[in-house]
Structure 1
Amino acid sequence: MEAVHQESNLQAGSSSIEPINMTVQDANERQNDEHTRDGSTDCLGRPADKGKTGGWKSGLLLLVNQGLGALAFVAVEVNLVLFSTRVLKQTNAEAANTFSQWMGTVSFFSLIGAFLSDSYLGRYMTCVIFQVIFLLGLIMLSTVSYFSLLTPHGCGKVGFLCDSQSKLDMAVFYMSIYLIALGNGGYEPSLATLGADQFDEEDENEKRSKVSFFSYFYIALNLGSMLSETVLAYMQNLGKWVLGFWISTACGFIGLAVFLSGSLRYRHFKPCGNPISRFSQVIVASFKKMKLEIPPNGEGLHESHANAGATSGARKIHHTNDFRFLDRAAVISPEDMVIMTTRSDGFDPWSVCTVTQVEEVKCVLRLIPIWLCTIFYFLGFIQMLSLFVEQGAAMYTKINSFHIPPASMTVFDIVSISAFIVIYDNLIRPYYTKVTKHTPRGPSELQRMGIGFAFSIGAMIAAGLVEQQRLKYAKEGAEELSSLHLFWQIPQYIILGISEAFMYVAQLEFFAAQIPDALKSLGVGLSMSSTAIGSYLTSILLSAVMVITTRNGSPGWIPPNLNDGHMDRFFFLSAGITTINLLMFVYCAKRYKSISLEKRDGTEEAQPPPPQTLP
């Protein structure tokens, strides 16, 4: 009887424990539902609360900041060529070179900002610091234009050139526009990545929003640009440069205020340290062990058992068999075991690296051929902002008595981009998925980038054909005008806009997805830096073309008076170069291997996505 009594007590005790265990389990599940699972934190470094941080409330603030920043920046960008010719009295080729070099520097600074963001400052502080620099540059440009550059009063419009400027005035001018370049280039990659950080990719609903954010980010950029390229471009074309610059400054200030207003809501990831140091460790360690045999299929290579995602959101990367010579960096030799016994912090990082650390280097090496191919795409994009504007300025620009600013024609590019992104997401991609039954939905990033290349070639050909017609209707004499109306440029702007809708968004998504977690800002910066090298290539190409085509007293393809030249040949040359580059891109895309990551909880490995390249 006593044994039965004890057994009944045990059963009663176990039954009372079960509800307690279930209650603890339910509490843990509720806590997991309340907080993000991707390793993000709030402003105080605590696990981010889903209800109080991130999501579209934070995302919308960043989109508004991007729109206002784009409005301020593009007001300088889109009219820099005309400012250089009308105020600084540069030739068309000199103005185009000035613009190409400046735009290249803007994108080059994006790499610097991305490096600081991932390594030391974090995305939030990087955005704050560089937006302040951006605002200082706008203030300096507005001030020097008012007091020094625009003399006599009212100069800088059609038929009214300004006086020559002193070396000091020019030094201040160049300092101001390069501060603008540093500020805008430095924060834009971090802003895009910070926006994506507001959505937990371990949550299916937020993961879909994260994919959409890059499209809306580019739409916000273009809507801000559209206001600059219409209202501000019209004001500046009439010679109201100072007013336009001060409006840009005000927008930059409001944008910074909007950004700071969401400081308590943003989700953050901790910086993961200097990637140059980690990459150097892999190179040095692999060279130290050149004589060691590499184990097959990555067996026995060193990997940390700690869950990095718990502190920084960085996931481990699966081993791959390409670039196998780097695997030696993760091989543990007998000498390494001896050294480890004398160290309190484990292996010497310059002798033994983790598999994830080695795979980070491999990921970047695999991205380089794709990145190099994207550089030549921006030959067309830079020409839209420089040579397209010069071409429009040499055409008939009036409707009745209203004068259309040539720079404002880029509004057709912006409208086509925004409209096509919406149409693509809501009509084209669902229909494509239904017909082809592809998973994931729609063409892959690489396929969309290839389509963007093809449309860019079409835009260059269209620009060349329009230039031939412009020359056909050009007025004889010294006047640099043609009777062909400015609206004949609309097709080339629309085609290039569709090209950008395919290329820019897909490129952002591709580099953000294929770069390791510890290098997210650097991945977006690498994507944006394509514009930098493309700008410099455009400048080099322009200079080379002018040197070759001005021999024997010839005016060249792009002379001061476009009626004496053949800018159409330059457009066709650009189309030919882009065609060759497209073929190289297809070759590289077919051989690209996607990154393969573990899940952040470390309990189950994520299956690598099937490689989707160009057909």
Structure 2
Amino acid sequence: MFLLLAKLNFVTTVSSKKNSMEGNVTQEQESLSPSHLGVDHESLQQPSDSGKKGGWVTFPFLAVAMMGLGVATSGALSNLVVYLIQEYNVPSVDAAQIANIVNGCLSIAPVAGAIVADAFFGCYPVVAVSMAFSLLVSTHAQTSIHRVHRVILLINSTQYPCGQSLVVFTLTASVQSLRPSPCKQPGFGTACSPATSGQMAALYAGVFLICVSAAGSRFNQATMGADQFDSPADRDVLFNWFFIFFYASAVLGSTVIVYVQDTVSWTLGFGIAGAASVVGLVGLLLGSRYYRRPAVKGSPFTGLARVVVAAAARKRTKIKVATSGESKFYHGGRSGDGDGKTSSAPTDSFSFLNCAALVTDDDIISADGSVVRPWRICTVQQLEDFKAVLRILPLWSAAIFLSVAIGVQINFTILQALAMDRAIGHFKVPAGSMFVSCLLSVVIFLGLLDRVLLPLWRCLTGHTPTPLQRIGAGHVITVISMVASAVIERRRLATVHAAEQEGNPGWVSPMSAMWLVLPFALSGAGEALHFPGQVTLYYQEFPPALKNTATGMVAMIIALGFYLSTALIGIVRRTTSWLPDNMNASRLENLYWLLAVLVAVNFGYYLTCARLYKYQNVAK
């Protein structure tokens, strides 16, 4: 399946001048061999395809694009919990829940972008246009903000919807009428004046527009990068480095921009985020002549829908799937026979669906293999594509609860940091930057994995760890991370009880917030294993027409994780007294212990799914 993308032709016509240019591209590809990336495979020492574009010459341009978008997005949203508490007087636990919903939207939006890329335009146009929206953001970020009535008109305007996202954020930070009155003790509810509906609407408008502008590029960049290579080994390395740049950019956004927001101004911080998106767009466009652009084959979901409709319509049809040749199955115009009918049967898995491709007397098939009523029958290939998706769904569902646990940990660790000593010498670490330890852990562990651990594993065992093995290891480390969070929170609360400050929501524990680095580092190591493993698994096992959607499946996992973490927090608040707005009176460690148990049970479910799963494309 990996090799199918290599057979796709360019959409544009190649002239003799372009042929000469491609010869130069081939030489550049040879000079940019990825040996410096720590890969020893012979296949990686050669250009992707000497007769076509693509290959490692595209990597620097894609890397700049990844970094620019990541810095812009993380810089705008990573400090959202603190922004809500300090500038909008939102109670602390409510702020954590809002941040989970926002992160869920930011994660689910790329799935829509992947569908659009798969069905209509391909990766490059969708990525370029989405990043161009970020350019509009930075261009309009200098708009005058002196007239509040124009602010409201700007928010309601639909002329440039995606280009207004950071404008709205900048305005909420600059115009006092778009924020409630300052609070002496922000984050503790009743003592503060809440934001009005209009003020919250302005903030949510900015969040929504950032999600829209990121939808087309966040994970389509991974698929676009994979399209540049023929070798599965090349793609595996590309996915590792995609995540390295993805998390490295988040580190920059969560440190530099968050520091500017906390110490200089929120307005300047949002402006820097817009400038980073401009750099990313320029980097992407500079590599345009080198990119391989596979042809788009139309919406892949139409074929999947045909399977469901045809199977439902024929649920009473008796099927005899045998080698006798009595049953004919529809293979479309590409089959060996001109009418598209052969006795070659579908696979036995999910055999109850095979009736969808069975040719009956009611089916009218023309000489060229096309069918008159396409929604009454599907091709065997469409049927097998649908089965491939069904096979992987249990494994996909096992990853959702990992994101639930991580989502809870991210935002509550920020609340823990606000109640702990964040000083390192004379420097006070912003609470919103604590998550950087997780991001750095991902980057470091991915590099260590690519340069040391995987080569050592290959040397000792003679083969590379499978995606399922990497994902399973990530499950185990996530359980350990939840246990570490519970132990550290128990120690923090012990200092609160010792000082008898349970009733003082503003009291800061003398315990160093640097203890929070340990669970975040463990969580990052787990992500370095299970997220790239999932991307590799889905890209390898999904049908060729669903490659963009395959990488978007990880985004959907993250989104569902954030949404479900919000639901879990709501259930815990309604049924227990663990999570009051006063963190010094909370029992947050009980929530972490609950997560550790649930993630461990989920790991057992994953092991069952992994044991039953059979790779469909491992040979390729």
* Change in 2 beyond 3 A, CA 1:486/1:344: closer
Q: CA deviation at 1:301?
A: 2.6
> What's the secondary structure of 1:484's corresponding residue?
strand
1:195-594 correspondence to structure 2 within 5 Å: 195-201=225-231, 207-238=232-263, 240-290=265-315, 291-296=317-322, 300-304=328-332, 306=334, 319-336=346-363, 339-341=364-366, 345-346=370-371, 348-438=373-463, 441=464, 443-474=465-496, 475=499, 476=501, 477-478=503-504, 479-549=506-576, 556-594=577-615
* Change in 2 beyond 3 A, CA 1:37/1:113: closer
* Change in 2 beyond 3 A, CA 1:372/1:156: farther
- Show the counterpart of 2:69: 69
Q: Is the 8 A contact 2:240 2:450 kept in 1?
A: no
Between 348-357 and 373-382, report the one with greater CA deviation: 348-357
Letter in 2 for 1:410: F
* Change in 2 beyond 3 A, CA 1:396/1:591: same
Residues 35-87 of structure 1, C-alpha deviation per residue, up to 9 Å, x if partnerless? x9813444625599573732222222112111111111111232111111111
Q: CA deviation at 1:307?
A: 9.3
> What's the secondary structure of 2:230's corresponding residue?
coil
Letter in 1 for 2:110: S
Residues 437-485 of structure 1, C-alpha deviation per residue, up to 9 Å, x if partnerless? 33xx2x2111111110111111111011110111111252522321100
* Change in 2 beyond 3 A, CA 1:133/1:428: same
Instruction: State the distance in 1 between where 2:324 and 2:233 align.
Output: 34
Q: Is the 8 A contact 1:557 1:570 kept in 2?
A: yes
* Change in 2 beyond 3 A, CA 1:488/1:273: same
Residues 361-411 of structure 1, C-alpha deviation per residue, up to 9 Å, x if partnerless? 101111211111110001232134311111111101112332111222222
* Change in 2 beyond 3 A, CA 1:128/1:294: farther
**Which structure has the bigger radius of gyration?**
1
Instruction: State the distance in 2 between where 1:102 and 1:197 align.
Output: 30
- Show the counterpart of 2:127: 127
Instruction: State the distance in 2 between where 1:272 and 1:57 align.
Output: 26
Between 568-577 and 383-392, report the one with greater CA deviation: 383-392
Instruction: State the distance in 2 between where 1:426 and 1:279 align.
Output: 40
* Change in 2 beyond 3 A, CA 1:526/1:511: same
Instruction: State the distance in 1 between where 2:174 and 2:192 align.
Output: 12
Letter in 2 for 1:258: G
Q: Is the 8 A contact 1:375 1:533 kept in 2?
A: yes
Instruction: State the distance in 2 between where 1:247 and 1:162 align.
Output: 30
* Change in 2 beyond 3 A, CA 1:467/1:197: same
Matching of residue 98 in structure 1 with residue 98 in structure 2: yes
Between 258-267 and 133-142, report the one with greater CA deviation: 133-142
* Change in 2 beyond 3 A, CA 1:583/1:592: same
Letter in 2 for 1:520: K
> What's the secondary structure of 1:424's corresponding residue?
helix
Letter in 2 for 1:144: T
Structure 1 counterpart of 2:7, from 35, 39, 57: 39
Q: Is the 8 A contact 1:88 1:162 kept in 2?
A: no
Q: Is the 8 A contact 2:81 2:432 kept in 1?
A: no
* Change in 2 beyond 3 A, CA 1:396/1:149: farther
Instruction: State the distance in 1 between where 2:5 and 2:490 align.
Output: 58
> What's the secondary structure of 1:335's corresponding residue?
coil
Instruction: State the distance in 1 between where 2:237 and 2:347 align.
Output: 30
Between 188-197 and 475-484, report the one with greater CA deviation: 475-484
Instruction: State the distance in 2 between where 1:494 and 1:298 align.
Output: 59
Instruction: State the distance in 2 between where 1:347 and 1:557 align.
Output: 62
Q: CA deviation at 1:533?
A: 0.8
Instruction: State the distance in 1 between where 2:324 and 2:92 align.
Output: 57
| Unpaired runs of at least 5, structure 1 | 1-35, 202-206, 309-316, 550-555, 597-607, 611-615
> What's the secondary structure of 1:377's corresponding residue?
helix
Aligned length: 541
Instruction: State the distance in 2 between where 1:37 and 1:79 align.
Output: 40
Q: Is the 8 A contact 1:133 1:180 kept in 2?
A: no
* Change in 2 beyond 3 A, CA 1:237/1:73: same
Q: CA deviation at 1:502?
A: 0.3
Instruction: State the distance in 2 between where 1:445 and 1:45 align.
Output: 38
Instruction: State the distance in 2 between where 1:157 and 1:342 align.
Output: 77
* Change in 2 beyond 3 A, CA 1:162/1:297: farther
Q: Is the 8 A contact 1:118 1:520 kept in 2?
A: yes
Q: Percent identity?
A: 27
Q: CA deviation at 1:247?
A: 0.3
- Show the counterpart of 1:189: 219
Q: CA deviation at 1:155?
A: 9.1
- Show the counterpart of 1:25: none
* Change in 2 beyond 3 A, CA 1:37/1:341: closer
| Unpaired runs of at least 5, structure 2 | 27-51, 138-162, 337-343
When the two chains are superposed, the root-mean-square deviation of aligned CA atoms in Å is: 3.0
Residues 7-48 of structure 1, C-alpha deviation per residue, up to 9 Å, x if partnerless? xxxxxxxxxxxxxxxxxxxxxxxxxxxxx9813444625599
Residues 84-115 of structure 1, C-alpha deviation per residue, up to 9 Å, x if partnerless? 11111111111011011111112221221111
> What's the secondary structure of 1:187's corresponding residue?
coil
Q: Is the 8 A contact 2:88 2:180 kept in 1?
A: no
Q: Is the 8 A contact 2:580 2:586 kept in 1?
A: yes
- Show the counterpart of 1:313: none
Letter in 1 for 2:489: E
Q: CA deviation at 1:318?
A: 10
Instruction: State the distance in 2 between where 1:318 and 1:256 align.
Output: 48
* Change in 2 beyond 3 A, CA 1:149/1:245: farther
Matching of residue 609 in structure 1 with residue 619 in structure 2: yes
- Show the counterpart of 2:173: 145
> What's the secondary structure of 2:507's corresponding residue?
coil
